[in-house]
Amino acid sequence: MKAVAFTLAAMAASSSAVQAQAPGDIRDLVGARAAGAETAMQARGYMFVKTRTGDDRKYSYWWNARARQCVTVATMDGRYDSITTSPAPDCNQRVNAPEYRDRGFQRPDARRESPSYAGERGSVQVSGNAVDLGLVCFGDGQRPGVATTYGWSWNSKRDRYDYGNRTEMTSQQFDASVMVQVWDGGGRISLPKKLIPPLHSRGSDGWWDLYDVEAGPDLIRAKYRLNGMNKPTITINRRSGQITIRGLDPYGFRGTCDLIDGDEHRRF
């Protein structure tokens, strides 16, 4: 009987775990840095409700008015450790609550009014070009940096070890978001300040023109010119929504792109 009871308990726990899985639209944020993930949550229609602190992590509650879904995000060491669905009351919502618009939540079509929305083909015009695809991408960036370290080093002239400081080149990581617009034969990318080196050219109000643009059914590839030495390459997977930017090491970015409209086979 004990074995049967244990088996039933294990099955119940397994069932509960499956039911508590993160919704598919935000499952990719598990493991992401909290600062960038919070921006991504908002962009995907989730509204922050409240936070409570546990022993080793913080729990934040988010409400998606369009899907009428509450989720709990556990943050540990500055990253999203887990995302699970939660009952509506956890987000201060009643099960039979009035429509979200009566409670002040964002309307499902509110993002269509945003300047960054480009869900309808050609609905945004840039310098006479009809934008076919507009994306907002959240993730982690990387750039060269300088650090000062202290320690012992060998002084061959004095035939001894000396204690002092030295300057070393390092790689700095940070949360960031980029915006991409693609049209027939071209496009442009908006970069955060942390992805713009001190020496740069050909940028206009934070936007850089794309060249060698290849927009296929599954992949989008393009380049932009930061300066004479650094000409990063962009690769966007249209099925997964993943974006990677690779320039002169360690310059780079990787993340996930959002777009409202899409089909069942591709993210956009």
Given a contact cutoff of 8 angstroms between Cβ atoms, the answer to whether 202 and 232 are in contact is no
Q: pLDDT over 90 for what percent of the chain?
A: 28
205 dihedral zone (left: phi>0; alpha: psi -120 to 50; beta) = left
pLDDT at 147: 63
Query: What confidence tens digit (pLDDT) does each residue in 87-146 have?
Result: 888 888 875 544 333 333 333 333 333 333 334 444 688 888 999 999 989 888 887 766
Given a contact cutoff of 8 angstroms between Cβ atoms, the answer to whether 263 and 241 are in contact is no
Model confidence at 168, pLDDT cuts 50, 70, 90, reads low
- Separation CA 55–CA 238 (nearest Å): 40
pLDDT at 220: 96
User: Which residue matches tokens 């989720």?
Assistant: 71
Given a contact cutoff of 8 angstroms between Cβ atoms, the answer to whether 259 and 135 are in contact is yes
- Which of 148-152, 178-182, 205-209, 235-239 is least confident? 148-152
Q: What is the DSSP letter of 106?
A: P
pLDDT: which is higher, 258 or 219: 219
pLDDT at 258 over 50: yes
Given a contact cutoff of 8 angstroms between Cβ atoms, the answer to whether 191 and 178 are in contact is yes
pLDDT at 189: 96
Query: What confidence tens digit (pLDDT) does each residue in 200-248 have?
Result: 887 888 899 999 999 998 999 999 999 889 999 999 998 888 999 999 9
* Token couple for 233: 């390459």
pTM over 0.95: no
